[in-house]
């Protein structure tokens, strides 16, 4: 059996207290306060009242002030308050409602009206609390679903990136390093005048999540080219360069089948444009300068730096200083000059990432 609702009656006149207590005590757990201060003490105790009947005109602290304090407190703002008053005019009622009260009862009271109003407001309050609980549960389920989708997305990214790695001489750590390089660059440039309107927190998060797919198109390159331990001839190089278009086509097909998303857009943009060069000599479209999406420009430097410091079958690993020298030589040729400048400013952090995710670790 449910416990009866707790009703707090606040009135400094014993006669009115006795009348209302006698009227409600048979159905409810009735609490009494003869002052505003005592009312606040009871209202903030546990368990809190389910409803408050509050006299307006009391000495020291009137009902308006009691209501204001209760509604300003996170702990008690949900408790419905019904004013008890011998004075009723439109202006006073409007003021009382503005403070958060739900109703008025006029003195002398009418027992049937008091009982009906109390019952209705208790039922309404119970319904509101039930709705709030449902909303909290729904919000929790939505958050769980969002996390599940994010985990599924991360697994899919990892699997696709791993698939590309199995057909290439690069390692999984290359993916991790470039992922952190691009995030590092983006965060450093977040307040740069040229980039501040493009690099908000959500965009940087997308760059970090989609960067591992930058070379997914290599699954479409024949092994005889992809794994060749020596320099590619002109025909082979033309075939190799198609990997950017392979990635673009694959992601476009996914978008057509499943619908587009900010993540797929970011992944497509990075995969398709990270081999474009600042002077327009890159591929696959020969874009120049700011025609190249910012994501592609960031990925370009991150990818080239990691390729330079990593051992490949066709080259030894270069030192950071040598890689830095090559990137500086490519400023305004291969790379966006401001991105190169950012790289120089945070080169120690690049070194730290390379050490943290070095091959074999």
Each residue of 102-119: pLDDT tens digit?
Answer: 898 888 888 899 899 899
The pLDDT > 90 percentage for the chain reads: 51
DSSP state letter for 212: G
The pLDDT of residue 18 is 87
Each residue of 195-253: pLDDT tens digit?
Answer: 999 999 999 999 999 998 898 888 888 888 888 878 889 999 999 999 999 989 988 88
The pLDDT of residue 155 is 61
What is the average pLDDT value for the chain, to the nearest integer? 88
Each residue of 296-333: pLDDT tens digit?
Answer: 999 999 999 999 999 877 778 999 999 999 999 999 99
- Bridge partners (DSSP) of residue 141 are none
| Least confident window among 39-43, 198-202, 271-275, 312-316 | 312-316
Distance CA 361, CA 131 (A): 52
Distance CA 14, CA 68 (A): 24
Q: Which CATH number fits domain 167-356: 1.10.3210.10, 2.40.128.50, 3.10.180.10, 3.30.1240.10?
A: 1.10.3210.10
Which residues, 6+ apart, have CB-to-CB distance to 84 below 8 Å?
Answer: 11, 16, 20, 53, 54, 55, 56, 63, 105, 107, 109
Q: Map out the domains of the chain as residue ranges.
A: 6-135, 167-356
Q: Helical H runs in 167-222?
A: 172-188, 201-210
Q: Are 103 and 117 in contact (CB under 8 A)?
A: yes
Each residue of 133-179: pLDDT tens digit?
Answer: 888 888 888 888 877 776 666 666 666 666 666 556 555 588 889 99
Handedness of CA 276, 281, 283, 287 (dihedral sign): positive
Distance CA 289, CA 266 (A): 19
pLDDT for 353 beyond 60? yes
The pLDDT of residue 163 is 61
The pLDDT of residue 171 is 54
Distance CA 158, CA 175 (A): 9
SS3 label, residue 113: helix
The pLDDT of residue 167 is 58
Distance CA 334, CA 276 (A): 8
What is the CATH superfamily name and number for domain 6-135? Response regulator (3.40.50.2300)
Nearest to 182 by CA among 326, 328, 301: 301
**Beta strand 51-55 pairing with 6-10:** parallel
Distance CA 325, CA 331 (A): 10
What is the H or E stretch that residue 105 is in?
strand 103-106
**Whole-number Cα distances in Å, 334 to 105, 195, 241, 279:** 79, 19, 16, 6
Each residue of 254-264: pLDDT tens digit?
Answer: 888 878 788 88
Structure tokens at 162: 């791993």
The pLDDT of residue 81 is 92
């Amino acid at each position: 059996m449910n416990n009866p609702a707790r009703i707090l009656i606040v009135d400094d006149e014993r006669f009115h207290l006795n009348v209302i207590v006698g009227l409600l005590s048979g159905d409810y757990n009735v609490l009494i306060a003869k002052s505003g201060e005592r009312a606040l003490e009871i209202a903030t105790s546990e368990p809190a009242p389910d409803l408050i009947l509050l006299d307006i005109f009391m000495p020291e602290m009137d009902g308006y002030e009691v209501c204001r304090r209760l509604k300003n407190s996170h702990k008690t703002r949900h408790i419905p308050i019904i004013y008890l008053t011998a004075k009723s005019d439109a202006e006073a009622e409007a003021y009382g409602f503005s403070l958060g009260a739900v109703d008025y009862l006029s003195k002398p009271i009418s027992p049937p009206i008091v009982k009906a109003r109390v019952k209705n407001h208790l039922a309404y309050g119970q319904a509101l609390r039930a709705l709030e609980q449902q909303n909290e549960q729904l919000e929790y389920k939505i958050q769980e679903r969002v996390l599940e989708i994010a985990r599924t997305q991360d697994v899919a990214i990892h699997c696709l990136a791993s698939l590309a790695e199995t057909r290439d001489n690069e390692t999984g750590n290359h993916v991790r390093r470039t992922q952190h390089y691009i995030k590092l660059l983006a965060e450093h440039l977040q307040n740069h005048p040229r980039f501040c309107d493009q690099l908000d927190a959500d965009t940087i998060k997308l760059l970090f999540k989609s960067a591992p797919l930058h070379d997914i198109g290599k699954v479409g390159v024949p092994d005889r080219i992809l794994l060749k331990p020596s320099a590619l001839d002109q025909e082979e190089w033309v075939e190799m360069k198609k990997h950017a278009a392979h990635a673009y086509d694959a992601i476009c097909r996914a978008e057509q089948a499943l619908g587009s998303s900010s993540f797929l857009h970011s992944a497509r943009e990075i995969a398709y444009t990270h081999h474009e060069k600042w002077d327009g000599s890159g591929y696959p479209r020969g874009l120049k300068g700011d025609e190249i999406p910012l994501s592609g420009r960031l990925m370009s430097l991150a990818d080239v730096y990691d390729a330079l410091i990593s051992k490949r079958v066709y080259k030894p690993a270069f030192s950071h200083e040598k890689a830095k020298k090559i990137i500086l030589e490519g400023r305004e040729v291969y790379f966006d000059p401001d991105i190169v400048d950012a790289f120089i400013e945070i080169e120690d952090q690049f070194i730290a990432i390379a050490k943290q995710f070095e091959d074999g670790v």
